[in-house]
């Protein structure tokens, strides 16, 4: 158990809908990273939050948004969903320093039908 909790584990929704993925980092971790992993693909970096502030953005679509709350949990909002958004979405948390590994949640598998 990595200590990072992602909910839900599985999500099936229709095109055009909006969903929210939730991530609770390990106790004490200030950084949260979000990734998208499509079938047979690597992890595409979406966005990084540190202590409530956005620190870096990757190839995140405008239809996607995220935030980190004062209790440090984070949510990734995906709207106007398309079939191509079907993927495994991971969050990872880390203390905040470069020399510490990131711990991953189990991921949320999103299927858009």
Tokens coding 1: 């158990």
Residue 106 sits in the site that holds another protein (CB under 8 A): yes
Binding residues with another protein: total (CB under 8 A): 25
**How do 103-104 and 87-94 pair as beta strands?**
antiparallel
Give the distance from CA 62 to its chain's centroid. 15
Rg of the chain (C-alpha set): 13
Minimum gap (Å) between residue 101 Cβ and another protein: 5
Minimum gap (Å) between residue 81 Cβ and another protein: 21
Minimum gap (Å) between residue 67 Cβ and another protein: 18
**Residue 41 vs residues 15, 59, 90: alpha-carbon distances, Å:** 22, 14, 13
Q: Which stretches of the chain bind another protein, using CB under 8 A?
A: 2, 33, 35, 41-43, 45, 48, 55-56, 58, 88, 90, 92, 94, 98-104, 106-107, 109
């Amino acid at each position: 158990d990595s200590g990072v909790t992602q909910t839900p584990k599985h999500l099936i929704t229709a095109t055009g809908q909006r969903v929210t993925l939730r991530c609770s980092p390990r106790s004490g971790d200030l950084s949260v990273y979000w990734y998208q992993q499509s079938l047979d693909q690597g992890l595409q970096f979406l966005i990084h939050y540190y202590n409530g502030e956005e620190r870096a953005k990757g190839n995140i679509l405008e239809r996607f948004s995220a935030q980190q709350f004062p209790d440090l949990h984070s949510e990734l909002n995906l709207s106007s969903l398309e079939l191509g958004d079907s993927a495994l979405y991971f969050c990872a948390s880390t203390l905040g320093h470069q020399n510490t590994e990131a711990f991953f949640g189990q991921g949320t598998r999103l299927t858009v039908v």
